[in-house]
Amino acid sequence: MVDASRKPRQMVLYAQAGILVPLIVTTIIAIAVGGGEGLMSTKLTGPSAPSAAPGHEEAAPAPAARAPEPEAHGEKPKEGAEKGKGEHGDEKGKPVVLKGTIIRELPPIVTNIALPEDVWIRLETSLVFDAEKLPEPEVAIKEISSDILSYLRTLSLSQVQGARGLRHLREDLNERVAIRTDGKAKELLIQGMVVQ
């Protein structure tokens, strides 16, 4: 009788050991692989800074490397950069010049759309063009703004909803810009759009 009661217990122990052994082996392998990955990433990124003792303040991180100045690339410095303003200039409507390409912010356009009539749209855009190809950008910007206003008044709400609507709007506006400038403008960028 003693032998009969021992067999079920021994079976349970063997079953538990059968589960534990693979679990222990898997854990050891995971620790080894994780430790190896940690060592490899430390070697690739360089030595880490010594950790601060408890109760001590941590040292401030090193300042990030600065981008090279425009003179290093053979470009003239921008006026805003000379006067302590940001690289892109703080003034609205001030063109940004990048190797002959000018990005000029257009005035925001606010109008109601066709359907429903009580829904308004605000569109903020920028025009990308070459200074040599488009000698009179002010005239072109006024004409493009007028075209955009006229086009937005013909839209319905469903035409500007979602990613697909935004993509179609951008394509349609770029077609109008290309027609208005005889292909001299590169692109019209949509910076922001609010529909309410």
The pLDDT of residue 67 is: 43
How many CB atoms are located within 10 Å of the residue 97 CB? 17
The pLDDT of residue 60 is: 44
pLDDT tens-digit profile, the chain (196 residues): 555 555 666 655 555 666 667 767 777 887 777 766 666 655 555 554 444 444 444 444 444 444 444 444 444 444 444 444 444 444 556 777 777 899 999 999 999 999 999 999 999 999 999 988 988 899 999 999 999 999 999 999 999 999 999 999 999 999 999 999 999 999 999 999 999 9
The pLDDT of residue 103 is: 93
Global pTM?
0.52
Of 150, 184, 154, 191, the C-alpha closest to 170 is: 191
The pLDDT of residue 1 is: 52
Omega prior to 77 cis, within 30 of 0? no
The pLDDT of residue 40 is: 60
Q: CB neighbours of 43 closer than 8 A, spacing ≥ 6? A: none
